[in-house]
Amino acid sequence: MSEAFSVLWLQAGSCGGCTMSALAADDVGLVAALDRFGIRLLWHPALSAQSGPDALDILADAAAGRIAVDALCVEGAVMTGPNGTGRFQMMAGTGQSTAAWIAAIAAQARHVVAVGSCAAYGGIPMAGANPTDATGLQFLGFDGAGLLPRSFVARGGLPVINVAGCAPHPGWLVETLAELALSGTCALDGLGRPRAFADHLAHHGCSRNEFYEFKASAARASDRGCLMENLGCKATQAPGDCNLRRWNGYGSCTDAGYACINCTTPGFQDCGAPFLETAKIAGIPVGLPVDMPKAWFVALAALSKSATPQRVRTNAHADHVIVPPIHRPPRSP
Ligand code: SF4
Ligand code: SF4
């Protein structure tokens, strides 16, 4: 059997949620899911037995190129403050910042993978005034450069691969690593996200789609109606196959009554309004579906509302089906 594809995982400014999400990969958990594709964890701060000097030896070997790192996975934003020193987050026992360790190992790794929107674009740690000078690996928000320059290309020929999301679906991570291990490459969109999931919208496949079509909107989180008009859902603008590839095999944000906050997009953390309220100007949502001009949306919404069946209108404001569909025999032409 060929040599395993090795993954080294570092945690920067992170809540640990990306690891928590990854642990639920497939039906077997992260380690076994990766093993199916010949991928092994060289070291992970929460999952590996090595700690202290043993762990630092692995990092030093990786930074010096003495051991091969096929993919460096970084979880969390990189703290570059104060004044560019990175001393807000030091790697214990080394006298060096986590930022310096990441940069050193990234220079040796075949691929560099940002796990989650914090590592990809800065995410939650850079919200507001960004007091720690948090940044993503290659992006700072939409346009800026992160810890690594925008021209950075890893040894394998790809820029930083941004498995965005807060947290990302475990399948996005496993599938990306599997693609790298099996083919050596991965198709990315303009923001470095793997197209395998980023070519979809979180709106696709939502169980509330019938309510969306008729603009039959929920007023409370427990209502069955669409969450876009009142409760902040941005899934019509959010890259991700969250409602096609269910979480833990079953649910999704919107299934649970929680609006999509567009967590796969740079800057989602500073959207200018409470996450669970829809920002509007003159009664029209500020965030409209991608590709749809405002005038079309307004006209379509008015038409849809005037044609809403009573069943849909009633069920939109209930937490269970009040009015079932009418059953008719099939018609012959
Ligand atoms: S709740 Fe969100 S994802 Fe679901 S149909 Fe409405 S806009 Fe689309
Ligand atoms: S539904 Fe929206 S908020 Fe939830 S994981 Fe997907 S992109 Fe993120």
Read off the tokens for 165. 């999301």
Which of 319, 316, 285, 294 lies closest to 212, judged by CA? Answer: 316
What pLDDT score does 116 carry?
A: 98
Q: Is the pLDDT of residue 288 over 80?
A: yes
Q: Is the CB of 260 under 6 A from ligand 1?
A: yes
CB distance 260 to 308 below 8 Å: no
Q: Is the pLDDT of residue 115 over 90?
A: yes
**Axis crossing angle, helix 98-106 with helix 52-63, rounded to the nearest 10:** 40
Q: Is the CB of 105 under 6 A from ligand 2?
A: no
| Mean pLDDT, residues 74-92 taken together | 97
Determine the Cα angle at 208 with ends 205 and 212, to 5°: 100
Distance of CA 126 to the CA centre of its chain: 16
What pLDDT score does 1 carry?
A: 43
User: Residue 227 CA: which ligand is closest?
Assistant: 1
| 3-state secondary structure (DSSP) of residue 247 | strand
Read off the tokens for 117. 């929107």
In angstroms, rounded to a whole number, what is the distance separating the alpha carbons of residues 304 and 286?
Answer: 19
In angstroms, rounded to a whole number, what is the distance separating the alpha carbons of residues 118 and 130?
Answer: 12
| Mean pLDDT, residues 109-134 taken together | 97
Ligand 1 centroid to 225 CA: how many Å?
9
Residue nearest to ligand 1 atom 8, measured at CA: 203
Ligand 2 centroid to 202 CA: how many Å?
6
| Mean pLDDT, residues 270-280 taken together | 92
Residue nearest to ligand 2 atom 2, measured at CA: 260
Q: How confident is the model at residue 2 (pLDDT cuts 50, 70, 90)?
A: low
Reported pTM = 0.95
Read off the tokens for 200. 């979809």
Closest ligand 2 atom to 242 CA: 6
Mean predicted lDDT score pLDDT of the chain: 95
What pLDDT score does 283 carry?
A: 84
Domains and CATH numbers, the chain: 5-197 (3.40.50.700), 200-320 (4.10.480.10)
What pLDDT score does 328 carry?
A: 87
Ligand 2 centroid to 268 CA: how many Å?
11
Q: Is the pLDDT of residue 290 over 90?
A: no
Exposed e or buried b for every residue in 73-102, given b needs 16+ CB within 10 A? bbbbbbbbbeeeebebbbbeeeeebbbbbb
Least confident range from 135-139, 141-145, 253-257: namely 141-145
User: Residue 288 CA: which ligand is closest?
Assistant: 1
Q: Is residue 82 reached through a cis peptide bond, with omega within 30 degrees of 0 on the bond before it?
A: yes
Which of 97, 103, 140 lies closest to 122, judged by CA? Answer: 140
Determine the Cα angle at 263 with ends 194 and 106, to 5°: 50
CB distance 108 to 58 below 8 Å: no
CB distance 89 to 125 below 8 Å: no
